[in-house]
Amino acid sequence: MTAMGQFFGIGVGPGNSGLIPVAAVAALRTADLIYVPRATTMSDSVARQSLGDLDLPAARFREVSFQMDPDRSVLSEHYAELAETIAVELRAGRTVAYLTIGDTLTYSTYGYLLAALRDLEPGLRHQTFPGVTSFAATAAALSWPLGEGKERILLLPCPDDIGALREDIETHDVVVLLKIGKRLPQVLDLLIELDLLGQCAFGHRVGLPDQQLYPDLSAARPADATGYLSTLLIRRHPREQRHPKLKAR
């Protein structure tokens, strides 16, 4: 009887090649097959682009296209089918890796895939490697501290109800807004109303060649079409100066 292969979940990027743990690279080099997701609206897989030049044989890669459907049941069905495909390879004794953009278990569809695989194979041999989150990459690109002192941070997929977003902003020190999409114009209007544009920063497709960075939204507003693959960093109060004033030389 063939021994069951091992499954790796690996976060890459977002955007910048090389943002991947050394341990994950070592695991990736042992994989017989590497599955990479590609949105049907994209010509290339951002996850594969984020790998950079690791000199991995092209024959190992398997591209999986999926539709960005807001209906979670559709996505769950998609990943259940993918799990069945991967399970066949694992039962044949192959080591399989799956790449996902950002951190593997922070608002990632990788969670659907892992759950489906564990249902199919309760004794699944697997290891999940963490990755760099989109908001950590955005904060680093903008030199924007995510939390200082005892600031309370809310990590939030953008709600459809802008009134609910207002309440979230007014009850937290920092709000990290993800999955903004077509709601971006309404969100920006709310920030204008709350007089917070000068304390907010925005990143679109961070780390990719066409990235857009806005360190101060009072100076420039992003276009409405940049709501996808974007992160908005909102600070309710101005930053507190935590060092004595220094004289410039």
Q: Each residue of 184-199: pLDDT tens digit? A: 999 999 999 999 999 9
Cβ neighbors of 174 (< 8 A, separation 6 or more) are 146, 147, 151, 152, 153, 154, 233, 234, 235, 236
pLDDT of residue 66: 74
Helices 72-91 and 110-120 pack at an angle, to 10 degrees, of: 50
pTM: 0.87
Binned at pLDDT 50, 70 and 90, residue 121 comes out as: very high
Binned at pLDDT 50, 70 and 90, residue 41 comes out as: low
Which whole number is the average pLDDT over 195-216? 93
Binned at pLDDT 50, 70 and 90, residue 70 comes out as: low
Q: What is the share, in percent, of the chain residues with pLDDT greater than 90?
A: 65
- Which domains, ranges and CATH numbers included, belong to the chain? 6-132 (3.40.1010.10), 135-235 (3.30.950.10)
pLDDT > 90? residue 249: no
Cα separation, 134 vs 103, in Å, equals 8
Binned at pLDDT 50, 70 and 90, residue 243 comes out as: low
pLDDT of residue 13: 84
The two counts, helices (H) then strands (E), for the chain are 7, 10
CB 83 within 8 Å of CB 113: yes
Binned at pLDDT 50, 70 and 90, residue 49 comes out as: confident
Which whole number is the average pLDDT over 38-47? 72
CB 188 within 8 Å of CB 221: yes
pLDDT > 90? residue 140: yes
